[in-house]
């Protein structure tokens, strides 16, 4: 039937481009990871080399810390913002635009601006915190090993919570009015509505958004690279930056490919278990 | 829904029962709120959190060197200056990077749109073997950790001679723009009545004619959403640009800005001015298209 084959012609160009840019590189990464720079098969030698490096486990835990810490606060803050912006009050549409600003600002701009605000000597944040008595001495936020990752996570949260807010807001707006009315007849107050109507109803949105945030968190290199480049002393080194370093600073493409394969596998595992856990959950009486 | 099972405080239950039918109607229209105080405090917090960094960036960009490096910080510059902007616009590589960014973002947006329009029409209007498989493949592209494929992409681009060229980045950006564009446009096209297509075909239009004369004009909000999304993501993209465009003739703004700020002695005034320069086009685009963009984005997300 001609109708069938016409469909193929429409999707063909996009598929060819994506196959060339995604399927082929993925396969090629696998090949690179088990060969040396002269394309000789070397088995798992590259993997062993990479795993022996002390930076690898450190980067792994840093990545989990970075992604996990970011997501928790992005979802909490984003959902709270969405509930706020779903209320009726004068100036609501202006507030909705304002809430979008962090998302609109390019990551690199957010990174440089916050780097300036967290500047140890002349940063506005140290100034505000010392004068208000929260801290006694200015803190070297971006040079202290204990504070640098939380600060970077805070910047990442600032950047992406508006995205969660928009998506959850869209979910909130699609909740049928009857649910609220029924709740009101039962005498529910606002917080009960949040607990028993809004949160359960936007659950599917939150599930989808969180998955996107996981992926974006795993891809997010901009903020960390621009501010610390993985330092001090590898305390903010995440795996994507490590891959970049091995490939383009050490020029060890095969080792970088081996690390990519492992990174890829872990990412897929996380996504797989996430989807499995959450696909099963809505069946529970809730 | 556990709502009904929830035990109400006796006072509220009584109040609910006492509601007369005439009051019920007006009560129905009112939504319970968290209280005005909560809303006001929430809004103030939100404004401060969202706007303060932006405001501080703009303010720092018009401060003189001396005002930037004083303690306590100066909240309102006594002698606002455009020196930082002069430095950025006339004494640095930023204008060149700006041009590169425009070329690459526009190029990849146009290319992604062309490919996505055809693919989405194919997905929305035809039934063929393996369709769901192909759709899943497109979506997987969106879920791919991009850092995992920079090495083979670099090797491939090197073989094709596309490292440090506009075309290299434009092509590579299809990975991040095409999947979501196809996804959003497919749901848009699906929402249009198929009868329109059929009527036009009976009148003698070809499939491509239908696409360009009926489907596309009717899905302007979706197209706008795709354009804004693609432009903004490519304008801000960092890791591919960092790996595949290291030469200053093709370097994009994000990389230029990152270099600016991590040099040994950072000129924060100039960095902030460059940040403003980089943000403005995106902010203008976003603000003018905000309604359409957010509508298109969430339509794609909820209809799937």
> What is the structure's pLDDT at B21?
41
DSSP-assigned letters across all residues of B132-194: HHHHHHHHHHHHS-GGGGHHHHHHHHHHHT-TTSHHHHHHHTHHHHHHHHHHHHHHHHHHS-H
* CA–CA gap between residue A115 and residue A228 (Å, rounded): 9
For A14, the closest of B118, B142, B268 (CB atoms) is: B118
* CA–CA gap between residue B23 and residue B83 (Å, rounded): 65
Q: Which residue has the tokens 């795996």?
A: A239
Identify all chain B residues contacting A226, using CB atoms and an 8 Å cutoff. Answer: 238, 257-258, 261-262
For B72, the closest of A6, A121, A127 (CB atoms) is: A127
Q: Which residues 172-231 of chain B have a CB within 8 Å of chain A?
A: 172, 174-175, 178-179, 182, 207
Q: Which residues 149-168 of chain A have a CB within 8 Å of chain B?
A: 158, 162, 166-167
Q: Which residues 274-293 of chain B have a CB within 8 Å of chain A?
A: 275, 278-279, 282-283, 286-287, 290
Residue of A nearest to B211 (CA): A10
Identify all chain B residues contacting A102, using CB atoms and an 8 Å cutoff. Answer: 49-50, 53
Nearest to B171 by CA among A256, A13, A36: A13
DSSP-assigned letters across all residues of chain A: -HHHHHHHHHHHHHHHHHIIIIIHHHHHHHHHHTB-TT--B-TTHHHHHHHHSTHHHHHHHHHHHHHHHHHHHHHHHHHHHHHHHTS--TTHHHHHHHHHHHHHS-HHHHHHHHHHHT-TTT-HHHHHHHHTTS-SS---TTTSTTTHHHHHHHHHHHHHHHHHHHHHHHHHHTS-HHHHHHHHHTT--HHHHIIIIIHHHHHHHHHHHHHHHHHHHHH--HHHHHHTTT-STTTT--HHHHHHIIIIIS--HHHHHHHHHHHHHHHHHHHHHHHHHHHHGGGS--
Q: Which residue has the tokens 């202006």?
A: A94
Identify all chain B residues contacting A21, using CB atoms and an 8 Å cutoff. Answer: 153, 171-172, 174-175
Residue of A nearest to B58 (CA): A113
Give every residue of chain B whose pLDDT is below 50, as ranges: 1-29, 300-304
User: Residue B41: which residues within 8 A CB-CB, separation 6 or more?
Assistant: none
Structure tokens at A6: 């016409």
Answer yes or no: is pLDDT of A79 > 90.
yes
Quick check: A221 and B238 CB within 8 A? yes
Neighbours of A210 (CB within 10 A): 17
DSSP-assigned letters across all residues of B199-226: HHHHTT--HHHHIIIIIHHHTHHHHHHH
Domain ranges of chain B: 36-81, 88-303
User: Residues B150-194: pLDDT tens digits?
Assistant: 888 888 888 889 999 999 999 999 988 898 889 888 888 888 888
Specify the CATH class of B88-303 in words.
Answer: mainly alpha
Q: Are A3 and B126 in contact (CB under 8 A)?
A: yes
Write down the architecture of domain A54-109+150-283 according to CATH: Orthogonal Bundle (1.10)
User: Residues A41-65: pLDDT tens digits?
Assistant: 888 888 988 888 888 899 999 999 9
Quick check: A185 and B54 CB within 8 A? no
Task: Give percent of chain A with pLDDT exceeding 90.
Answer: 18
For A113, the closest of B39, B57, B128 (CB atoms) is: B57
Q: Which residues 234-263 of chain A have a CB within 8 Å of chain B?
A: 239-240, 243-244, 247-248, 253, 256-257, 260-261, 263
Answer left, alpha or beta for residue B73, where phi above 0 means left and psi between -120 and 50 means alpha. Answer: beta
> What is the structure's pLDDT at B25?
42
* CA–CA gap between residue B67 and residue B87 (Å, rounded): 17
Whether complex ipTM tops 0.85: no
For B147, the closest of A113, A184, A240 (CB atoms) is: A240
What count of Cα atoms within 13 Å lies in the side-chain half-sphere of residue B118?
Answer: 18
For an interface test with B, give the residue of A24, A109, A119, A226 to mutate (most B CBs within 10 A): A109
> What is the structure's pLDDT at B261?
67
Q: Which residues 46-85 of chain A have a CB within 8 Å of chain B?
A: 80-81, 83-84
Residue pairs between chains A and B whose CB atoms are closer than 8 Å? 329
For an interface test with B, give the residue of A1, A9, A14 to mutate (most B CBs within 10 A): A14
Residue of B nearest to A122 (CA): B69
Q: pLDDT confidence of A197, banded at 50, 70, 90?
A: confident
Identify all chain B residues contacting A100, using CB atoms and an 8 Å cutoff. Answer: 286, 290, 294
CA distances from B252 to A78, A272, B77, B236 (A): 31, 35, 31, 9
Structure tokens at B125: 């209007």
DSSP structure class, residue B277: H
User: Residues A169-196: pLDDT tens digits?
Assistant: 888 888 888 888 888 888 888 888 888 8
* CA–CA gap between residue B71 and residue B77 (Å, rounded): 13
Q: Which residues 147-176 of chain B have a CB within 8 Å of chain A?
A: 147-156, 171-172, 174-175
For an interface test with B, give the residue of A2, A20, A21, A30 to mutate (most B CBs within 10 A): A21
DSSP structure class, residue B4: T
Nearest to B303 by CA among B110, B120, B111, B115: B120
CA distances from B105 to A13, A160, B231 (A): 20, 22, 5
For an interface test with A, give the residue of B64, B68, B152, B287 to mutate (most A CBs within 10 A): B152
Mean pLDDT of chain A: 85
**Residue A35 forms beta bridges with which residues?**
A41
Identify all chain B residues contacting A272, using CB atoms and an 8 Å cutoff. Answer: none
């Amino acid at each position: 039937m001609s109708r069938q084959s016409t469909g193929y012609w429409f999707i063909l160009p996009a598929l060819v481009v994506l196959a060339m840019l995604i399927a082929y590189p993925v396969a090629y990464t696998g090949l690179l990871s088990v060969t040396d720079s002269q394309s000789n098969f070397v088995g798992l030698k590259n993997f062993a080399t990479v795993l022996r490096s002390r930076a690898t486990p450190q980067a792994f835990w840093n990545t989990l810390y970075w992604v996990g810490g970011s997501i928790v606060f992005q979802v909490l803050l984003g959902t709270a913002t969405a509930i706020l912006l779903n209320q009726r009050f004068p100036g609501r549409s202006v507030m909705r635009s304002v809430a979008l600003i962090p998302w609109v600002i390019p990551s690199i701009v957010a990174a440089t601006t916050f780097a300036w605000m967290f500047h140890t000597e002349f940063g506005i944040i140290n100034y505000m915190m010392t004068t208000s008595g929260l801290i006694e001495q200015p803190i070297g936020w971006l040079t202290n090993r204990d504070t640098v990752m939380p600060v970077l996570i805070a910047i990442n949260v600032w950047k992406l919570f508006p995205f969660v807010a928009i998506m959850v807001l869209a979910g909130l707006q699609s909740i049928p009015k009857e649910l609220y009315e029924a709740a009101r007849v039962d005498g529910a107050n606002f917080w009960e509505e949040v607990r028993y109507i809004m949160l359960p109803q936007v659950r599917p949105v939150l599930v989808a958004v969180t998955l996107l945030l996981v992926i974006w968190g795993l891809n997010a290199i901009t903020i960390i690279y621009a501010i610390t480049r993985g330092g001090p002393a590898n305390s903010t080194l995440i795996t994507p930056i490590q891959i970049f370093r091995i490939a383009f600073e050490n020029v060890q493409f095969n080792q970088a490919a081996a690390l990519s394969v492992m990174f890829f596998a872990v990412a897929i595992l996380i996504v797989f278990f996430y989807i499995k856990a959450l696909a099963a959950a809505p069946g529970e009486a809730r | 829904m556990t709502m009904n099972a929830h035990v109400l405080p006796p006072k509220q239950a009584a109040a609910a029962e006492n509601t007369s039918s005439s009051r019920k109607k007006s009560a129905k229209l009112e939504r319970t709120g968290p209280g005005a105080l909560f809303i006001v405090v929430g809004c103030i917090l939100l404004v401060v959190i969202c706007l303060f960094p932006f405001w501080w960036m703009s303010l720092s960009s018009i401060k003189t060197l001396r005002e930037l490096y004083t303690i306590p910080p100066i909240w309102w510059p006594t002698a606002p200056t455009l020196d930082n902007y002069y430095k950025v616009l006339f004494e640095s590589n930023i204008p060149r990077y700006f041009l590169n960014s425009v070329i690459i973002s526009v190029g990849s947006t146009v290319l992604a749109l062309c490919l996505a329009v055809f693919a989405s029409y194919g997905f929305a209007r035809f039934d063929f073997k393996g369709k769901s498989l192909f759709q899943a493949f497109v979506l997987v592209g969106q879920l791919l950790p991009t850092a995992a494929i920079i090495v083979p992409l670099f090797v491939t681009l090197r073989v094709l001679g596309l490292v440090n060229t506009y075309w290299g980045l434009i092509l590579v950006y299809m990975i991040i723009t095409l999947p979501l564009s196809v996804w959003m446009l497919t749901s848009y096209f699906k929402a249009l009545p198929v009868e329109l297509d059929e009527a036009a075909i009976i009148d003698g239009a070809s499939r491509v004619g239908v696409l360009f004369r009926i489907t596309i004009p009717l899905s302007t909000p979706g197209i706008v959403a795709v354009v804004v999304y693609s432009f903004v993501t490519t304008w801000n993209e960092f890791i591919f640009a960092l790996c595949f465009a290291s030469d200053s003739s093709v370097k994009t703004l994000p990389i230029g800005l990152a270099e600016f700020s991590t040099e040994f002695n950072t000129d924060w005034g100039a960095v902030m001015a460059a940040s403003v320069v980089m943000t403005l086009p995106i902010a203008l685009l976003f603000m003018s298209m905000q309604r359409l963009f957010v509508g298109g984005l969430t339509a794609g997300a909820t209809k799937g």
